[in-house]
Amino acid sequence: MIKVIIFASGIFVFTAARSQSDSLEQLKDTIASATHHSGNKTIKTIIAATGYVAATLVCYRYFDTDIKNFAQSNQNETITDIAKAYEHLGVGASSAIITASTGIAALITKNKRLEKTTILLIGAHLINDFVTTQFKITFQRHRPNTGDPYNTFDWRGGPKTNLSFFSAHTSNIFTTATAFATCFKKTKWVPVLAYSAAGLVGICRIYNNEHWASDVLAGAACGFASVKAMNGIYKLLSKRFSFLPEVNAGHYGITASYCIKS
């Protein structure tokens, strides 16, 4: 009987050790796969970002003036009126209205994706506003409507009257568009509609002679990157915090609750 017990115990220990070994191997494979996937994603992101920066620089050096001249030589009174009205989607007031409306809708419907969209909008607009302002006062690029060449800058010590680089209208609207595209990416028409609407604001700014094409490209990148940065912060903090958008008397913000794990 003792031999049977010893034999059975041996089998149990061997099986447990084998199971643990298999589990460890599976864990290693999972980590390796995740690391490989993460590494590939990082490499693709770096390549895409590098390509976009290069394209913006090429546009600045070789195409800004030609695009400006083309837009100004094809002016139409009706289109101009429409463009001037449509570009208001990129002003700060429009961003605030869209953010507040999304927050109210999230509170009413209890829709988690709308809640996350509101949080991304609030945080990303704060990031975008700071970065855009710093770029504007650092470069102090002359707008195309001044008649000055595309490469005229006053730099940081300038009078802060020429703030063309980069387009705040475009960065604002792309912040909004990317927030919705990120949270509703499985609804295929949402990213298409959001980015199309945002891109049209940038085109309007060029058509109205308020910005060079490279200003618009850089602004779009800033808005996009601001949301991706905020989304990364949200994922990191949501492991310990729960967030809820808050809209009250025309003001909006985020209520955060800290989760204590026992």
pLDDT digits (tens, 9 = 90+) for 114-152: 999 999 999 999 999 999 999 999 999 999 999 999 999
- The model's pTM is 0.81
- Per-residue pLDDT reduced to its tens digit, 212-232: 999 999 999 999 999 999 999
Q: What mean pLDDT is reported for the chain?
A: 86
Average pLDDT on 167-189 reads 98
User: What's the pLDDT score for residue 254?
Assistant: 61
Which residues, 6 or more positions from 144, have their beta carbon under 8 angstroms from its beta carbon? 64, 68, 150, 164, 209, 210, 211, 212
Compute how many other C-beta atoms are within 10 angstroms of the C-beta atom of residue 116. 20
Q: Where are the beta strands (DSSP E) in the chain?
A: 241-248, 251-258
Q: 150-166: per-residue pLDDT in tens?
A: 999 999 999 999 999 99
Residue 97 contacts by C-beta under 8 Å, 6 or more apart in sequence?
A: none
Q: Check residue 160 and report its DSSP letter.
A: S
Between residues 141 and 259, which one has the greater pLDDT?
Answer: 141
Give yes or no for a cis peptide into 139 (omega within 30° of 0): no
Which residue ranges make up each domain of the chain? 37-258
Residue in the block written with tokens 């139409």: 76
Contact 103, 246 (CB under 8 A): yes
User: What integer pLDDT is reported at residue 247 of this predicted model?
Assistant: 59
Per-residue pLDDT at 238: 83
Tally DSSP H helices, then E strands, for the chain: 8, 2
**pLDDT attached to residue 170:** 98
Q: What is the pLDDT of residues 72-122, one digit of tens each?
A: 999 999 999 999 999 999 999 999 999 999 999 999 999 999 999 999 999
Cβ-contact 150, 64 below 8 angstroms: yes
